[in-house]
Structure 1
């Protein structure tokens, strides 16, 4: 799998674990503050970037706000594309490194990528959005992220129409409300096109599984995720999804099997140094298996 695909799948493992075992009351977003809950709680039906940016700015010190305003003005006044690109990158780094605010971080990353016409950077930002939106509780924010990802994937696809990973990513955004006036099946069609051409494309099979899970089609989700597990035996998120789906559909024997495979994979990866030991997570899974 490509680096973007790996990022998409691997960055969600902890969030999925928290969701399955602790429910949506756990407000862990991998250290990112998404900046939008206040808007959603006010009853807003949609979000836009200026509104979320305004919320994020309330967290800044006077000195930080002065710096951000200077950079923003530099973008507006600048008439040299390279200067605008560098300023967007500066804003992106600031919002992540100094504040930990994901929305302005990825928005400015995308702005720079669009000016650069960089397929690599466009897809990188799009995959980050696609991964992060699945950890989000607030529906308006989830939809905003999906629409942003869709736009970036579309621009990347214009640069390289043959990129299967980009096609799958674009199709996946439809699951989360990215397309206002287009049928959701259009997104499924994009992914199926890739999966039918190459049944061993794990990213395509995975996203078809996600689409089935989102729509509650559990047998189809199990079929797709099982295919990914065959292709990638140490894909922790897929193993966890298979365990959870079988459990919620009443097949405790299958659930135990997948939980046990998950535990074995975690221990293998810890021993090989591919992931840091997480004894608390292992303990929680072991206790859960005993309770089945």
Structure 2
């Protein structure tokens, strides 16, 4: 399993682990015309969800912070406009993420830059930042917003490289976990397309297992997750979700067994203590 796939984790405890290991509106009237146009088109394509999320976030800013964003947005001038936009979007992304502590909006602007670059690598990176937050859990409106934007990025990736199975799986995860479709089977089908063609793809099995957990099909989830940990015994995602699934099933003995396995793969004291607390609660 690739390193970037390892950060797509489900569950509150693993969010804690994620933070330790990886921790790291209508567009404003004063924005440049080019950026207004692009943001407006994106909002239209995403049923205006982007507009709402960005507007709400912008309203919460202090005047100096809002002014800084306006300066960045207005820094696109004549000349090589495309490259300037890419630079500005990345600057805005870092400001939202590092200064304003909104990694979700930071990821959105990284995605806007990646769309212009049409870089498979950068599109994947921005989409995965969004998917990480979807998997970790968020407010429904923000989850849908992240999923719609990640979906658009993955679709662009697949136009560049139709053979990118990880992008196909993660596109399916956007449907499955992002509340962007009334038919979650749409997401399952996209993941199964990869799983049925390549039975050795444990990333697809993992995502299907997480989907089984979401639909409370715990026996199926256990079957898939045990298959993953047999092939990838150090896969923290699979180990944790297997333990948690046994806990949900009421199988305390197996839940403790797999939480112990998780504990053996973590060195962060706070995370180890949280796991120990879970184990003690099951005794």
Q: Secondary structure at the match of 2:4?
A: helix
Aligned to 2:167: 166
Match of 2:70 in 1: 69
The structure-2 alpha-carbon separation of the partners of 1:81 and 1:168, relative to structure 1 and needing over 3 Å to count, comes to: same
Q: Give runs of ≥4 in structure 1 deviating > 6 Å.
A: 76-79
Q: What's the CA shift for 1:105? A: 0.4
1:281 maps to 271
Query: 1:257: Cα distance to partner?
Result: 1.5
Q: Which runs of 5+ in 2 are unaligned?
A: 25-46
1:146 matched to 2:147? The reply is yes
Aligned in 2, Cα 1:289/1:178: closer, same or farther, shift over 3 Å? closer
Shift of 1:248: 1.6
What is the CA-CA distance between 1:125 and the residue it aligns to? 1.0
Give the whole-Å Cα distance in 2 for the aligned partners of 1:254 and 1:76: 62
Match of 2:42 in 1: none
Residue matched to 2:127? 126
| TM-score computed with the length of structure 2 as normaliser | 0.81
Q: Identify the match of residue 16 of structure 1 among 7, 14, 17.
A: 14
Structure 2 match to 1:80:
81
Equivalent-residue separation in structure 2 for 1:200 and 1:69 (angstroms):
49
| Cα displacement string for residues 92-131 of structure 1 (whole angstroms, at most 9, x for unaligned residues) | 1111111111232011100000000011111111111111
Whether 2:218 is the aligned partner of 1:200: answer no
Q: 1:58 to 1:31 in 2, by over 3 A?
A: farther
TM-score for the superposition, normalised by structure 1: 0.78
Q: Report if aligned partners of 1:85, 1:112 keep a CA contact under 8 Å in 2.
A: yes
Q: CA RMSD in A?
A: 2.7
Shift of 1:236: 2.3
**Distance change >3 Å, CA 145–CA 102, structure 1 → 2:** same
Aligned-partner SS, 1:234 = coil
- TM superposition shift of 1:31: 7.4
**Equivalent residue, structure 2, for 1:35:** none
**1:212 touches 1:220 (CA, 8 Å); kept in 2?**
yes
| Counterpart in the other structure of 2:239 | 239
Unaligned runs of 5+ in 1: 20-27, 33-45, 271-276
Q: Deviations over 1:243-279 (max 9, x none)?
A: 111122121221121122122222xxx3xxxxxx31x
Q: C-alpha distance in 2, partners of 1:64/1:262?
A: 41
| Count of aligned pairs | 257
Greater CA drift, 216-225 or 106-115: 216-225
- Which is further off, 281-290 or 244-253? 281-290
1:101 aligns with 2:102: yes
Quickly say closer, same or farther: Cα 1:192–1:101, change in 2 above 3 A.
Answer: same
* Cα distance between partner residues in 2 of 1:119 and 1:244: 34
> 1:156 maps to which residue?
157
Greater mean alpha carbon deviation, residues 81-90 or residues 169-178: 169-178
1:176-227, Cα deviation, whole Å (9 max, x unpaired): 245447x432321221121222222221111111111111111111111112
Indicate the residue corresponding to 1:22 in structure 2: none
- Aligned equivalents of 2:11 and 2:214: distance in 1? 17
